[in-house]
Amino acid sequence: MLFTIISFILFLPSLTSSSETWIKVGSWSSGAEFPVADIDSTLFTHFTHLTFDFAFINTSTYELSIVSDSEPSMFTFTQIVQQKNPSIVTLLSIMVLLGPGDTNLSTFYSMATQPSHRTSFIESSIDRARHYGFHGLDLCCVTPVTNTTKMEALGILLDEWRTAINRESKTSTRSPLILTMAGHYVPSKNSTSYPMESIRRNIDWVHIVSFFYHLPTMENFTGAHSALYDPSSNVSTDYGIKEWISRGLPAKKMVLGLVYEGYAWTLRNPSANEIGSPATGPAVTTDGSMSYKFIKSIMRCDGENVAYNSTYVTNYCINGSVWIGYDDVEAIRTKVSYAREKGLLGYRVSFVSNDYHRVLPKAAAIGITLLHAGYVPPEYVKRGIYSTKSDVYSFGVLLLQIISGKRNNCSHGLHEDFNLLDYAYDLWKSGKGMEFMDPSLDDINSSCKLVRCMQIALLCVQENPADRPSMLELSAMLKNENAAMNTPKRPAFSTRRDEDEVPVQKSTSEQEIWSVGDVSFTQTVAR
């Protein structure tokens, strides 16, 4: 029976199929290094939607303009990706910025503030989307401005756009085009804000642009350009998401922005190489930008020269005087788990072609699977630390689900759902372990083995990784029924505490030490 239980591990993904309904958007640029047709088809299985970047707004006619070099790939885009994944949905993304110097979004607001110009833009956008076979339109990078009239014009544009989309759908008897927009990480500027009522009515989702916070061309210190948290400022994704919600946009209308690129600074002093260290400007490239693939292969950011900062939730790599900030597997997993926990609609990845080997989409998928099924260990939820002891925790949750026939609906103790771990511990401690078991496993010849499995599983889901068995110890306990075992304490994420249990004392410096495998980590709690 023990080996049968172990074999169930192979079916872990099937337990979380409902996570597939989550929105997972990837963006593809016509100028990408690899043409769409040359990319392995398995890339597209990681996404539910793909955007084609970009169409533009004509500065004279205000109609949607297609760059001639992009048209051939745009025309075949939907056909090619649907050959590789028939269920994928494609959107044509419209860039409203003419370039870095177009800070006033002049062309866009000239269009949005004039009724005739809005009509030209709206009708041409719908026509182009249908002509090139797209299922929707995405308005990219409209930033909030202090001009109230312009913000009101954006709201009117969205109202008229949605009305025209619905009208075209009835006339053509085709499904209405999806309408999305990319929004600044904070929804307001000074006293003005995006037109939230119009956005709620008309936009299917807002992609929160959760990066470009710190750039080497703008600041003389190293920075986490896509920081999930920032203990020293409001320039962070978490702050922005909360602001959007407080302004009235539901979490289920937002998708979190991820980006597969990083930025390199030149350190002023190579020995001072943390986030916030003095720097003299960009390194390696003109503006310091570089793709994830370039960071991993050319800059050789792998192994001891890479660090993960769980306070900001970002990775950085040090090569002599070059400091590169980017998101690697740890950061991507944590951010996807964050989006799921906050009830967001999903996530959107910019520059998917930068990760040709699909390392980061797989990390995102693992983050969804583990969180949704309740397999995420406390050290990962709280600190972003993942190791073999984290795998042991996930195994313990799965083992409890298998022998009980019940599902753990309390992923990390933050909900009032059924907590299988607490339930198992209470029955085991009171000597009623067999009441926990699936009746189909209630065999008089195996009851001792079942209770032993229960005890092993409870040891695996201990709060402190040091209290969990190692992989070798776990294997020995499963294979040898006479192997000695420790007595489990109350499991992680418990909503209760035993009377004889000594509360965990936290220091005034708010530090916690986790022992993971043979390595100890000291993490400062920023929140």
Confidence band of 519 (pLDDT split at 50, 70, 90): very low
pLDDT recorded at residue 363: 56
Tell me, what's the pLDDT at 516?
A: 32
Kindly list the distances between the CA atom of residue 327 and the CA atoms of 86, 190, 261, 323, 356, in Å, as whole numbers in the listed order. Answer: 30, 30, 8, 13, 15
Residue 49, class by beta-carbon neighbours within 10 Å (0-12 exposed, 13-18 middle, 19+ buried)? buried
Task: Quick: pLDDT tens for 120-172.
Answer: 999 999 999 999 999 999 999 898 989 999 999 999 999 999 999 999 999 99
Domain 376-479, CATH class in plain words:
mainly alpha
Q: How confident is the model at residue 248 (pLDDT cuts 50, 70, 90)?
A: very high
- In tens, the pLDDT along 490-514 reads 998 876 666 555 544 443 333 333 3
pLDDT band at residue 417 using 50, 70 and 90 as cut-offs: low
pLDDT above 90 coverage of the chain, percent: 52
Average pLDDT on 452-479 reads: 90
Q: What is the pLDDT of residues 2-44, one digit of tens each?
A: 444 444 443 443 333 334 478 999 888 876 656 666 665 556 6
Amino acid 255: pLDDT: 97
**Which region among 9-18, 62-71, 118-127, 302-311 has the lowest average model confidence (pLDDT)?**
9-18
**Which comes out higher in pLDDT, residue 390 or 310?**
310
Cβ burial of 391 (10 Å; 0-12, 13-18, 19+) is middle
Judged against a pLDDT cut of 90, whether residue 360 lies above it is answered with no
Q: Are 25 and 49 in contact (CB under 8 A)?
A: yes
Residue 130 corresponds to which tokens in the numbers above?
A: 């249908």
Mean pLDDT across the chain, nearest whole number? 82
Contact between residue 453 and residue 2 where contact means Cβ atoms under 8 Å apart: yes
Give the pLDDT confidence score for residue 96 in this predicted structure: 87
Confidence band, pLDDT 50/70/90 cuts, at residue 446: low
pLDDT for 366: 52
Q: What is the mean pLDDT of residues 49-56?
A: 93
Q: Are 77 and 36 in contact (CB under 8 A)?
A: yes
pLDDT, position 371: 54
What pLDDT digit, counting tens, does each position of 73-97 carry? 899 999 988 888 889 999 999 998 6
**Predicted pLDDT at 308:** 92
In degrees and rounded to multiples of 5, residue 332 shows phi and psi of -60, -45
Q: Which residue has the higher pLDDT, 368 or 51?
A: 51
Per-domain residue ranges of the chain: 22-259+329-372, 376-479
The arithmetic mean of pLDDT across residues 217-225, rounded, is 96
Taking only the tens place, the pLDDT of each residue in 375-412 is 677 776 656 566 778 888 988 998 998 888 887 765 44
Statement: residue 283 has pLDDT above 90:
yes
Quickly list DSSP for 261-297. Answer: EEEEEEESSTT--STT-BEEEE-SSSSSEEEHHHHHH
* pLDDT above 80 (res 448): no
Mean pLDDT of 416-440: 85
| pLDDT confidence band for 429 (50 / 70 / 90) | very high
Query: Which of these ranges, 322-331, 350-359, 472-481, has the smallest mean pLDDT?
Result: 350-359
Q: What local confidence, expressed as pLDDT, does residue 444 receive?
A: 58
In angstroms, the CA 263 to CA 320 distance is 15
Q: What is the pTM of this model?
A: 0.69
* pLDDT for position 518: 31
Could you give the CA distance from residue 86 to residue 74 in angstroms, rounded to a whole number? 17
Does residue 66 or residue 441 have the better pLDDT?
Answer: 66
Query: What is the sign of the dihedral through the CA atoms of 457, 458, 459 and 463?
Result: positive
Q: Find how far residue 183's CA is from the centre of its chain.
A: 17
Mean pLDDT of 106-116: 94
Does 22-259+329-372 carry CATH code 3.40.50.920? Answer: no
> What is the reported pLDDT for 302?
84
Note whether 62 and 117 are within 8 A (CB): yes
